[in-house]
Amino acid sequence: MFSIIVYMVKLYTPEYYKSHLQKLDTDYLKAINDVKTSQPYYKTFPNNNQHSVNYSTNVNNSNSISDKLLLLKSNLSSNISTQGVDLDKTIQNYNVLKDENKLLKNKMDQLKNEKGGAKGFYNDNEEKYNYIRITLFIYFIITILLFYYIIKNEKENIIRIFDNIKLKITPPKNE
């Protein structure tokens, strides 16, 4: 199996780096001055234990501060590269969202157009429906009048037919 080791870089603010760098700068200058003052004594009296201890302590302090400066530089470099990667990802996400936004805007405009078209289509169909409804109502009235006329005429014809039948059925009158 492969294992991936991921180093999490702690992101610091620029203010952190500024204050930390100022502190290390003052400490480093103090350590360098201490080395400068203790070195002549150490070189002059190499066998003196106190001068030797002071000089080595001051050199160790300056090396420690130098290491801290290198570590700060490394952290700053990794933060810059991490921020650059994060910035690239953010820009890519922004571009993707921008493209999606364009597509959604076009779709929204299309839906607005379709909504306007649907309203027009609805209004046109409503007019057709109302026209057909009025036409059917007129046909209904005409049909009722026609049935009335037919029934009225048929009634008169039926009465005539019955009158003729009565005449035929009734025996002739004797005179």
List of E strands, 1-139 = none
User: pTM for the complete prediction?
Assistant: 0.44
Instruction: Report the alpha-carbon distance of residue 158 to residue 82 in Å, rounded.
Output: 107
pLDDT, tens digit, 9 for 90 and up, residues 32-64? 888 888 888 777 877 888 878 888 888 888 888
Distances from the Cα of 36 to the Cαs of 26, 29, 58, in angstroms? 15, 10, 9
Q: Does the pLDDT value for residue 2 go beyond 50?
A: no
What DSSP character marks residue 171? P
Most confident of 79-83, 91-95, 111-115, 152-156: 91-95
- What average pLDDT does the chain have? 79
The predicted pLDDT at position 172 comes to: 57
Tokens of 146: 């026609």
Q: Does the pLDDT value for residue 168 go beyond 80?
A: no
Tokens of 144: 């009722």
Handedness of CA 32, 34, 35, 39 (dihedral sign): positive
pLDDT, tens digit, 9 for 90 and up, residues 7-39? 455 667 778 888 888 888 888 888 888 888 888
What number is the average pLDDT over the span 127-137?
92
Cβ neighbours around 51 below 10 Å, total:
18
